[in-house]
Copies of this chain bind each other. A is one copy, B any other.
Amino acid sequence: MKVSEIRVLYADTDQMGVVNNVNYLRWFEIGRAEWLRARGKSYKEIEASGCQLPVVEANLRYHAPARYDDICEIFAAPSNVRAASAVFDYQITRKSDGQKLVSGSTRHACIDGSGRVRRFPEELVALLNKED
């Protein structure tokens, strides 16, 4: 599901004239945050209810470079939702020509306020399993 658009800043580029590889993990964060918000529950609310979802794994494939001032579309969706972990998948494309730029995923654990692994609340599992 397309969840957001973002415009490439000068500060995102490097001297190769393209978006530096380190920047896309920020856009992945936007992806999962906006997917959750679109489903009716912000990550801020999830956290306030006693559940943090730190990234425990991230994978990125860089297909083509984004360039300064490009508008990029962020697609995100959960997958592989388990009792105490879930995956988000992402795709970043350039809006003007649909070029796939970066795809990837992040895996998240569920921990409570004191850092202990816990099971997802049922409500959150339901949310993550909702069809797009």
Contact in complex: A69, B44 (CB < 8 Å): yes
Contact in complex: A25, B17 (CB < 8 Å): no
Interface residues of A in 53-70 (CB under 8 A from B): 54-62, 65, 68-69
- Tell me, rounded to whole Å, the shortest Cβ–Cβ distance linking A124 to chain B: 17
The count of residues in chain A whose C-beta lies closer than 8 Å to any C-beta of chain B is: 35
Tell me, yes or no, whether A96 is within 8 Å of chain B by CB: no
Contact in complex: A22, B15 (CB < 8 Å): no
Contact in complex: B56, A68 (CB < 8 Å): no
- Tell me, rounded to whole Å, the shortest Cβ–Cβ distance linking A23 to chain B: 8
Question: Which of the residues B9, B16, B21 comes within 8 Å of A58, measured between beta carbons?
Answer: B21
Tell me, yes or no, whether A116 is within 8 Å of chain B by CB: no
The 7 closest A-B pairs by CB, nearest first: A22-B25, A21-B55, A13-B15, A44-B69, A15-B17, A58-B60, A11-B20
| Residues of A participating in the B interface, judged by any CB pair closer than 8 Å | 7, 9-11, 13-18, 20-22, 25-26, 29-30, 33, 42-44, 52, 54-62, 65, 68-69, 106
